[in-house]
Amino acid sequence: MLSVEALYKAHADAVLAKLRRLGIEGPALEDLLQDVFVIALRRQAKIPKDNDSARRWLFDAARKLAANFHRLYRHKYEALDPDAIDAALAEPEDPEEHIALCNLVRTALRELSSKDVELLRRHAIDGESLPELATWLRITKSGAHVRLERAKERLRVQVARLEQGVELRGDRKPEVIEAPTSR
């Protein structure tokens, strides 16, 4: 039986290349390479004895780890960007424009159904995941995804109509927030 250290010396470059071919890049590349060999250490008794079979076993572990990596939502949509965090926490460059946008969105939300507003609030503000939304709606996760996307699209349409000055329904006036006065 080959030791994990010997496997690492013999196959680390090949496993790294395999992970790259599987679409892993950046800091995750080294992390997943280490994960492959951590798994090899934990399952040392299950690794085939001959070198070629052990190599295939390592490639299989790398393939499974890469598939799991790509399945995770955060790797597709969330990037660790300190500048983005700073920008999100910073005051808006134009407070009046920001207030106008808030008023526009608030007015558009009033034009949506209460179910759409609740769905958008739960997802965007409360941070509920699709499985949590699906449970609340008593539907499947994919059904919740469809409903969420449709609610987002209805909100986008309402905002676009308001931006163009089109009267939506009734004679509701937008709720106005006053800009903070400087002291």
155 located within any domain: yes
Residue 172 lies in a domain: no
Any domain includes 174: no
* Between 94 and 80, residue with greater pLDDT: 94
- What pLDDT does 171 receive? 46
Q: Are residues 53 and 101 in the same domain?
A: no
The pTM of this model reads 0.46
Q: Are residues 72 and 95 in the same domain?
A: no
> What are 120-143's pLDDT values in tens digits?
999 988 888 899 999 999 999 999
Range of the structural domain that residue 11 is part of: 4-77
Q: Is 131 within the bounds of a domain?
A: yes
In this structure, the answer to whether residues 95 and 152 fall within a common structural domain is yes
CA atoms lying within 13 Å on the CB side of residue 10: 15
Counts of helices then strands in the chain (DSSP H, E): 9, 0
> Tell me, what's the pLDDT at 168?
45
Q: What pLDDT does 83 receive? A: 76
CATH number of the CATH domain containing 136: 1.10.10.10
What is the per-residue pLDDT for 140? Answer: 94
Together in a domain, 64 and 104: no
CB 135 within 8 Å of CB 125: no
Look at residue 76 in the predicted model and tell me its pLDDT.
Answer: 62
Instruction: Judge whether residue 166 has pLDDT over 90.
Output: no
Q: Is residue 11 within 8 Å of 54, Cβ to Cβ? A: yes
